[in-house]
Amino acid sequence: MITKRNIILFLIAVGTVSLLFKLYTIDFSVPFRGDNLFYTLEALQYSQGDYFIPQKTNPGWPLFISSFLWLFNSDNFIDYSNLVRGLSLSIMSFTILPMYLLARKFFDQKYSLVTVILFAFEPHLNYIAGRGVSEPLFILIMVFAFLFVLDKKPKYIFLSFILSGIFWWMRLEGFYLFIIISIIYLLSFRKSRNLIRNYGICIAIFLIIVSPMFIQRDMQYGDPFYIWYGETLFTENYATVQTSPDDASLFDYVEEHGILSFIDKFVIKGISNFSNALTNISYPYLFILLPFGILFSLRAFDQNKEYIRANWILILTILTTLVIPFSIITDPRFLFVLLPFLVIFATIPIQRITEYGLSTFSFNQHQKNIFLIIVILLVVILSGIFTHGYDKYGYGKPDTIKEHEKMEYAKFLVDNLDGRMLDAGYVTEYVKTVKYTETAELFKNYKSPRGKDPFPDTYTPGSLVMIREHGKTLEDLISNGEKSGLKYIGISEDGADMLLFLDDIYSHEENYPYLIKISDSTEEGYQKLKVKVFRIDYQIFHQNLD
């Protein structure tokens, strides 16, 4: 029996060491760019009383951030970036506590602490903890909601449905938590005489929590359920999702391509994509433990079978919900919310081997303790090795030199280019950071794009703006770009993320006479940044086509 005092001390120690891993992945000297940039700008907007809900995201995380902005007033945007980093770090570190309480539903004290270690040193979660995005709060709410619904006490059940409503405020796909909690509740209380009445109350609670968001959407868009992705999801790829293609709706796609093509494109490919993503995020140690944990969970005898079933319901519901979106948008971040619950399964084989051994051997008590210490050390070492690395998604120690070069290059582009530009390889990651946060007046008075289009053309003479274009070939893309005034294309040596047919341009620019190189970071003395910017000569382009 481990005393409460020792458990608390252990959790503090684990939280402190894992915090060092998290801090290792953060560069506090650069401001936000990308999603975290706009989360912070929207939080500043909300703090000024402008509660416009974005066209393609839910407002929960920026609203949460805005409640902390009174802490200080700065004219430097990087201070706000670091405030948000601190918030997300604190949330992910705090999640260790409810993670322990959840693990206690499945294991005794000792193996619950092992579960906490697997969670606390999971490198993908440690990386995302300091990015200033919504995942840490998203995961915290999910863990608490799942913990409460397993408790089965009415007050906790109601609280679980309250959290499921808050969860939907965080992300578009967050509705799945309501489905999960409902299934678990209905199965657990299926013999209760008050099942229908109490579930009706739970639904009412949920609707009260989410209704302000839908009322606001109705006021803004004339449709309480308006989601920009709903009109663009059913298309060829993520590049065209971002550019409002013609065959965007489900019915249009089926009518044009057929039901078999739909199944292949949005079901089979979705399953394949998230299978690959799950494999990738299970490194460096879950991929060893999970297969055995899943197998043992099917014949669990040390765990409550209802709780194991509930964990399966959660995982399978999330995966089912994400099949279609994941066929197009393959960002592993969608799956990070699964990691706390996969960690529970990953703990089962550690418990089985320690307590019962294998058919050829078993441990005495002293050997069990040594084995667990070895397992813990291996988890920490593997996490450290992975954290020090840098995989294709960028999960690892940031390259400070390269990030500062990106900032400097973005300032050069903003100061010297005039026109619309397509970024095909993270060339301009910090352009919007420079444009929106160069002065306090700009970022403190930020207004998100109004109307239904989240990517309006904001070009004015003398400015550089980023636009999105689609096409199945380079010629197709440039032809489409000509209609919208596309002037520049930026290419990175690392390759294009979505428009893969552009990769060849960086290395073989001589094959594209209609692309006139106007900037090469290597020739301009940048140490690590390898990018080129080309101006499109439409006259030569049309001559080339002829």
Q: Is residue 328, in this structure, part of any structural domain at all?
A: no
pLDDT at 35: 87
For residue 155, is it within any domain? Answer: yes
How far apart, in whole angstroms, are the C-alpha atoms of residue 348 and residue 111?
Answer: 9
Structure confidence at residue 108 (pLDDT): 94
Q: Answer whether 168's CB lies under 8 Å from 58's CB.
A: yes
Residue-level pLDDT at 303: 92
Q: For residue 496, what pLDDT band results from cuts at 50, 70 and 90?
A: low
Torsion (CA) 493, 497, 501, 504 in degrees, nearest 10: 10
Question: Does the pLDDT of residue 246 top 70, yes or no?
Answer: no
User: Residue 171 pLDDT more than 80?
Assistant: yes
Picking from 168, 194, 228, the residue at the C-terminal end of a domain is 228
Question: Given a cut of 90, is residue 319 above it in pLDDT?
Answer: yes
How far is residue 421's CA from residue 487's CA, in Å, rounded to a whole number? 6
Whether 12 is covered by a domain: the verdict is no
State the Rg of the chain over Cα.
25
| Contact assessment for residue 36 and residue 117, using Cβ atoms and an 8 Å cutoff | no
Contact (CB, 8 A) for 167 and 177: yes
Residue finishing a domain among 228, 253, 279? 228
Instruction: Please state which of the ranges 213-217, 227-231, 383-387, 518-522 shows the lowest mean pLDDT.
Output: 227-231
Instruction: Give residue 330's identity as a one-letter amino acid code.
Output: T
Token duo for residue 508: 């073989």
> Residue 382 domain-assigned?
no
* 33: CB partners within 8 A, 6+ apart: 429, 430, 432, 433
Q: 130-151 pLDDT, tens per residue? A: 999 999 999 999 999 999 999 8
Q: Is residue 98 part of a domain?
A: no
Residue 285 lies inside a defined structural domain of this protein:
no
Share of the chain above pLDDT 90, in %: 49
For residue 417, being part of any structural domain is answered with: yes
Most confident of 36-45, 188-197, 424-433: 36-45
CA distance 36 to 22: 17
Question: Could you tell me the residue range of the domain that residue 432 belongs to?
Answer: 400-545
- Residue ending a domain, among 175, 206, 228, is 228
pTM value is: 0.91
Q: What b/e sequence results for 117-140 when a residue is b if at least 16 CB atoms lie within 10 Å of its CB, and e otherwise?
A: bbbbbbbbbbbbbbbbbbbbbbbb
Mean predicted lDDT score pLDDT of the chain = 87
Written as one letter, the residue type at 405 is E
3-state secondary structure at position 194: coil
Does a structural domain hold residue 293? no
The span from the CA of 317 to the CA of 90, in Å, is 28
Q: What is the pLDDT of residues 54-78, one digit of tens each?
A: 888 899 999 999 999 888 889 999 9
Summarize pLDDT for 229-244 with one digit per residue, the tens: 665 566 655 555 454 4
Lowest mean pLDDT, pick from 34-48, 248-262, 271-285, 486-500 = 248-262
pLDDT digits (tens, 9 = 90+) for 425-449: 677 788 889 889 888 898 899 898 8
Provide the number of structural domains found in the chain. 2
Buried b (16+ CB within 10 A) or exposed e, 388-427: eeeeeeebbebeeeebbbbbebbebbbeebebbbbbbbbb
| Confidence band for 15, pLDDT divided at 50, 70 and 90 | very high
Percent of the chain at pLDDT above 70?
92
Residue 546: per-residue pLDDT: 63
- Count helices and strands in the chain by DSSP H and E runs: 25, 5
The answer on pLDDT for 196 being more than 50 is yes
Q: CB 204: neighbour CB atoms within 10 A?
A: 11
490 - beta bridge partners? 423, 533
